[in-house]
Amino acid sequence: MDLATIIESKDKIFEWLALIFLFAFGVMLFIWGIYCFVSFFRQIFKLSKPNNGKMFDCLSCGNYISNEAHHCPHCGHHYGKRYPTPLAILMLFLFGGMGIGLGVYIFISVLELYLVM
């Protein structure tokens, strides 16, 4: 084997690895976009359904607290600030569209590069 053949075979291997990496990245973006759209519809459903003062058990002390509480009034366990629902719905819609769009674009680009090889 001469040096030119070895270098050419290495280049082909790197091209295939790059195509596999790009394809995996595109699939990951597409799946992330679908997940965002599913979450988008779940948030809309949750917004349309009345809360009716539902309660849940505190993770620290076990007392019942409101579903909208940021911390437990009994023990002080912090549940964090939640994003406002309309902002979360808008962000999920935008991120879902971007994820699916970029995923499809990368997938098409990988197919074009594969057909050129």
Q: pLDDT (tens digit, 9 = 90+) per residue, 3-58?
A: 667 667 777 888 888 889 999 999 999 999 999 999 898 888 877 766 556 777 78
The SS3 of residue 66 is strand
Structure tokens at 104: 């499809």
Classify residue 73 by its DSSP letter: T
Block residue for tokens 């001469």: 2
| H helix or E strand, kind and range, residue 57 | strand 55-57
Close Cβ partners of 56 (under 8 Å, ≥ 6 residues apart)? 64, 65, 67
Rounded to two decimals, what is the model's pTM?
Answer: 0.66
- Answer yes or no: are the C-beta atoms of 38 and 21 closer than 8 Å: no
Nearest to 61 by CA among 40, 86, 41, 79: 79
**What is the structure's pLDDT at 83?**
60
